[in-house]
Copies of this chain bind each other. A is one copy, B any other.
Amino acid sequence: MNNHIVRTYGEELDQLSAEVMLMGGLAEAQVADAVEAVARRDVALAQSVIERDRKLDELERDVERKCIRLIALRQPMAADLRKTVAAMKIATSLERTGDLAKNIAKRSLVIAEAEPMSPLTRSIERMGKLVSSRLRDVLDAYKSGKLEMAMAVWSSDTEVDEHYNALFRELLTYMMGDPRTISACTHILFMAKNLERIGDHATNMAEHIHYEITGEDYVEDRPKMSTL
Protein backbone atom coordinates (compact mmCIF):
# COMPACT_ATOMS: atom_id res chain seq x y z
CA MET A 1 0.00 0.00 0.00
CA ASN A 2 1.10 3.57 -0.44
CA ASN A 3 1.69 6.06 2.29
CA HIS A 4 -1.73 7.68 1.93
CA ILE A 5 -3.36 4.83 3.75
CA VAL A 6 -1.75 5.75 7.04
CA ARG A 7 -3.44 9.14 7.11
CA THR A 8 -6.74 9.53 8.88
CA TYR A 9 -9.90 9.78 6.84
CA GLY A 10 -10.39 13.29 8.21
CA GLU A 11 -7.03 14.37 6.85
CA GLU A 12 -7.75 12.91 3.45
CA LEU A 13 -11.13 14.66 3.34
CA ASP A 14 -9.53 17.96 4.30
CA GLN A 15 -7.04 17.58 1.49
CA LEU A 16 -9.90 16.81 -0.90
CA SER A 17 -11.87 19.91 0.14
CA ALA A 18 -8.76 22.03 -0.24
CA GLU A 19 -8.33 20.77 -3.80
CA VAL A 20 -11.99 21.52 -4.59
CA MET A 21 -11.56 25.02 -3.11
CA LEU A 22 -8.52 25.53 -5.33
CA MET A 23 -10.64 24.57 -8.33
CA GLY A 24 -13.32 26.99 -7.14
CA GLY A 25 -10.87 29.88 -6.99
CA LEU A 26 -9.63 29.09 -10.49
CA ALA A 27 -13.14 28.74 -11.93
CA GLU A 28 -14.24 32.03 -10.41
CA ALA A 29 -11.18 33.79 -11.88
CA GLN A 30 -11.83 32.22 -15.29
CA VAL A 31 -15.37 33.61 -15.36
CA ALA A 32 -14.25 37.07 -14.20
CA ASP A 33 -11.40 37.20 -16.73
CA ALA A 34 -13.56 35.91 -19.60
CA VAL A 35 -16.13 38.69 -19.18
CA GLU A 36 -13.38 41.25 -18.71
CA ALA A 37 -11.85 40.07 -21.99
CA VAL A 38 -15.24 40.66 -23.63
CA ALA A 39 -15.73 44.13 -22.17
CA ARG A 40 -12.16 45.35 -22.90
CA ARG A 41 -11.75 43.50 -26.21
CA ASP A 42 -8.61 42.08 -24.58
CA VAL A 43 -7.34 39.33 -26.89
CA ALA A 44 -4.34 38.39 -24.70
CA LEU A 45 -6.55 37.92 -21.64
CA ALA A 46 -8.97 35.78 -23.67
CA GLN A 47 -6.09 33.60 -24.86
CA SER A 48 -4.87 33.09 -21.32
CA VAL A 49 -8.37 32.03 -20.17
CA ILE A 50 -8.45 29.48 -23.00
CA GLU A 51 -5.05 28.08 -22.04
CA ARG A 52 -5.66 27.92 -18.31
CA ASP A 53 -8.80 25.79 -18.72
CA ARG A 54 -6.63 22.67 -18.97
CA LYS A 55 -5.68 23.07 -15.30
CA LEU A 56 -9.30 22.72 -14.20
CA ASP A 57 -9.69 19.59 -16.33
CA GLU A 58 -6.63 18.03 -14.68
CA LEU A 59 -7.76 18.91 -11.19
CA GLU A 60 -11.21 17.45 -11.79
CA ARG A 61 -9.71 14.13 -12.93
CA ASP A 62 -7.47 14.13 -9.86
CA VAL A 63 -10.35 14.85 -7.45
CA GLU A 64 -12.43 12.11 -9.05
CA ARG A 65 -9.63 9.54 -8.80
CA LYS A 66 -9.07 10.40 -5.15
CA CYS A 67 -12.78 10.19 -4.32
CA ILE A 68 -13.20 6.77 -5.91
CA ARG A 69 -10.08 5.49 -4.17
CA LEU A 70 -11.34 6.80 -0.83
CA ILE A 71 -14.74 5.18 -1.27
CA ALA A 72 -13.22 1.85 -2.30
CA LEU A 73 -10.45 1.68 0.31
CA ARG A 74 -12.07 3.31 3.30
CA GLN A 75 -15.73 2.39 2.80
CA PRO A 76 -16.89 5.61 4.42
CA MET A 77 -20.34 5.68 5.94
CA ALA A 78 -22.87 8.47 6.47
CA ALA A 79 -21.34 11.94 6.75
CA ASP A 80 -17.90 10.94 5.40
CA LEU A 81 -19.41 9.28 2.35
CA ARG A 82 -21.57 12.33 1.70
CA LYS A 83 -18.58 14.64 1.94
CA THR A 84 -16.68 12.52 -0.56
CA VAL A 85 -19.56 12.34 -3.05
CA ALA A 86 -20.27 16.08 -2.71
CA ALA A 87 -16.60 16.90 -3.39
CA MET A 88 -16.71 14.82 -6.59
CA LYS A 89 -19.91 16.49 -7.81
CA ILE A 90 -18.80 20.02 -6.99
CA ALA A 91 -15.53 19.35 -8.87
CA THR A 92 -17.59 18.31 -11.91
CA SER A 93 -19.66 21.51 -11.75
CA LEU A 94 -16.50 23.61 -11.48
CA GLU A 95 -14.91 21.87 -14.45
CA ARG A 96 -18.04 22.62 -16.52
CA THR A 97 -18.00 26.21 -15.30
CA GLY A 98 -14.46 26.42 -16.66
CA ASP A 99 -15.57 25.04 -20.04
CA LEU A 100 -18.28 27.68 -20.27
CA ALA A 101 -15.83 30.48 -19.36
CA LYS A 102 -13.45 29.17 -22.03
CA ASN A 103 -16.24 29.27 -24.59
CA ILE A 104 -17.00 32.90 -23.66
CA ALA A 105 -13.30 33.72 -24.13
CA LYS A 106 -13.28 32.06 -27.57
CA ARG A 107 -16.33 34.02 -28.66
CA SER A 108 -14.76 37.26 -27.37
CA LEU A 109 -12.00 36.74 -29.95
CA VAL A 110 -14.60 36.68 -32.72
CA ILE A 111 -16.51 39.76 -31.60
CA ALA A 112 -13.26 41.68 -31.00
CA GLU A 113 -13.02 41.75 -34.81
CA ALA A 114 -16.48 43.26 -35.25
CA GLU A 115 -17.60 46.83 -34.52
CA PRO A 116 -17.78 47.47 -30.76
CA MET A 117 -21.26 46.91 -29.31
CA SER A 118 -20.62 48.56 -25.98
CA PRO A 119 -24.13 48.52 -24.49
CA LEU A 120 -24.31 44.78 -25.04
CA THR A 121 -20.83 43.91 -23.83
CA ARG A 122 -21.41 46.05 -20.73
CA SER A 123 -24.52 44.00 -20.03
CA ILE A 124 -22.43 40.82 -20.36
CA GLU A 125 -19.92 42.29 -17.91
CA ARG A 126 -22.64 43.09 -15.38
CA MET A 127 -24.18 39.63 -15.70
CA GLY A 128 -20.69 38.10 -15.39
CA LYS A 129 -20.05 39.98 -12.15
CA LEU A 130 -23.33 38.78 -10.71
CA VAL A 131 -22.58 35.16 -11.65
CA SER A 132 -19.02 35.41 -10.25
CA SER A 133 -20.38 36.62 -6.94
CA ARG A 134 -22.78 33.64 -6.85
CA LEU A 135 -19.82 31.32 -7.36
CA ARG A 136 -17.89 33.05 -4.59
CA ASP A 137 -20.85 32.77 -2.20
CA VAL A 138 -21.44 29.09 -2.87
CA LEU A 139 -17.74 28.31 -2.43
CA ASP A 140 -17.73 30.21 0.88
CA ALA A 141 -20.71 28.11 1.94
CA TYR A 142 -18.84 24.94 0.95
CA LYS A 143 -15.73 25.97 2.85
CA SER A 144 -17.56 26.98 6.02
CA GLY A 145 -20.23 24.26 5.81
CA LYS A 146 -23.00 26.83 6.27
CA LEU A 147 -26.31 25.55 5.00
CA GLU A 148 -28.17 28.91 5.09
CA MET A 149 -25.45 30.49 2.98
CA ALA A 150 -25.76 27.75 0.35
CA MET A 151 -29.54 28.02 0.34
CA ALA A 152 -29.32 31.80 -0.14
CA VAL A 153 -27.41 31.16 -3.40
CA TRP A 154 -30.02 28.59 -4.36
CA SER A 155 -32.88 31.05 -3.82
CA SER A 156 -31.22 33.87 -5.75
CA ASP A 157 -30.93 32.04 -9.08
CA THR A 158 -33.91 33.99 -10.43
CA GLU A 159 -31.81 37.17 -10.36
CA VAL A 160 -29.40 35.61 -12.89
CA ASP A 161 -32.39 34.53 -14.99
CA GLU A 162 -33.76 38.09 -14.94
CA HIS A 163 -30.45 39.38 -16.27
CA TYR A 164 -30.51 36.75 -18.98
CA ASN A 165 -34.05 37.61 -20.05
CA ALA A 166 -33.27 41.35 -20.14
CA LEU A 167 -30.13 40.75 -22.18
CA PHE A 168 -32.06 38.50 -24.55
CA ARG A 169 -34.61 41.28 -25.23
CA GLU A 170 -31.80 43.80 -25.65
CA LEU A 171 -30.15 41.52 -28.21
CA LEU A 172 -33.35 41.04 -30.21
CA THR A 173 -33.85 44.81 -30.40
CA TYR A 174 -30.25 45.31 -31.50
CA MET A 175 -30.43 42.66 -34.21
CA MET A 176 -33.75 43.85 -35.58
CA GLY A 177 -32.51 47.45 -35.60
CA ASP A 178 -29.40 46.56 -37.60
CA PRO A 179 -29.40 43.12 -39.23
CA ARG A 180 -25.71 43.46 -40.08
CA THR A 181 -25.01 42.89 -36.37
CA ILE A 182 -26.85 39.55 -36.27
CA SER A 183 -23.78 37.37 -36.60
CA ALA A 184 -21.86 39.11 -33.78
CA CYS A 185 -25.04 39.26 -31.67
CA THR A 186 -25.49 35.48 -31.81
CA HIS A 187 -22.08 35.17 -30.12
CA ILE A 188 -23.22 37.53 -27.37
CA LEU A 189 -26.44 35.53 -27.07
CA PHE A 190 -24.43 32.35 -26.44
CA MET A 191 -22.22 34.21 -23.93
CA ALA A 192 -25.33 35.21 -22.01
CA LYS A 193 -26.61 31.63 -22.15
CA ASN A 194 -23.25 30.37 -20.87
CA LEU A 195 -23.42 32.78 -17.93
CA GLU A 196 -26.94 31.63 -17.18
CA ARG A 197 -25.70 28.03 -17.17
CA ILE A 198 -22.84 28.95 -14.82
CA GLY A 199 -25.52 30.38 -12.52
CA ASP A 200 -27.28 26.99 -12.75
CA HIS A 201 -24.05 25.26 -11.75
CA ALA A 202 -23.83 27.51 -8.67
CA THR A 203 -27.38 26.40 -7.84
CA ASN A 204 -26.41 22.75 -8.39
CA MET A 205 -23.44 23.18 -6.06
CA ALA A 206 -25.76 24.64 -3.42
CA GLU A 207 -27.84 21.45 -3.73
CA HIS A 208 -24.73 19.27 -3.34
CA ILE A 209 -23.81 21.20 -0.17
CA HIS A 210 -27.36 20.67 1.11
CA TYR A 211 -26.95 16.92 0.54
CA GLU A 212 -23.52 16.90 2.19
CA ILE A 213 -24.78 18.64 5.31
CA THR A 214 -28.26 17.14 5.72
CA GLY A 215 -28.06 13.81 3.91
CA GLU A 216 -31.19 14.68 1.94
CA ASP A 217 -31.50 15.52 -1.73
CA TYR A 218 -32.92 18.97 -2.20
CA VAL A 219 -36.05 18.11 -4.12
CA GLU A 220 -37.98 21.37 -3.92
CA ASP A 221 -38.62 22.88 -7.33
CA ARG A 222 -36.24 25.68 -8.10
CA PRO A 223 -37.57 29.20 -7.93
CA LYS A 224 -36.62 29.33 -11.60
CA MET A 225 -37.93 31.84 -14.10
CA SER A 226 -38.68 30.54 -17.55
CA THR A 227 -35.59 31.44 -19.56
CA LEU A 228 -35.60 28.65 -22.16
A residues contacting B by CB (< 8 A) are 61, 68, 71-73, 75-77, 81, 85, 103, 106-107, 110, 168, 172, 175-176, 179-180, 182-183, 186-187, 189-190, 193, 217, 228
Closest Cβ neighbor of A76 among chain B residues: B72
Q: How far is the CB of A134 from chain B (nearest CB, A)?
A: 20
A182-B193 contact in complex given A61-B217, A71-B72, A106-B228, C-beta closer than 8 Å: no
A179-B183 contact in complex given A81-B72, A190-B193, C-beta closer than 8 Å: no
Q: How many copies does the complex hold?
A: 2
Closest Cβ neighbor of A106 among chain B residues: B228
A172 to B71, CA, bound (A): 50
**Which of B81, B172, B183 is within 8 Å of A172, CB to CB?**
B183
A77 to B71, CA, bound (A): 12
A190-B228 contact in complex given A68-B81, A182-B175, C-beta closer than 8 Å: yes
Point out the residues of chain B lying under 8 angstroms from A175, CB to CB. 175, 179, 182
A189 to B192, CA, bound (A): 14
A59 to B190, CA, bound (A): 30
Point out the residues of chain B lying under 8 angstroms from A180, CB to CB. 176
Point out the residues of chain B lying under 8 angstroms from A68, CB to CB. 71, 81, 85
Closest Cβ neighbor of A169 among chain B residues: B183
A106 to B226, CA, bound (A): 10
14 A-B interface contacts by CB (under 8 A): A61-B217, A68-B71, A72-B75, A107-B228, A172-B182, A172-B186, A175-B175, A175-B182, A176-B180, A176-B182, A186-B189, A187-B228, A190-B193, A190-B228
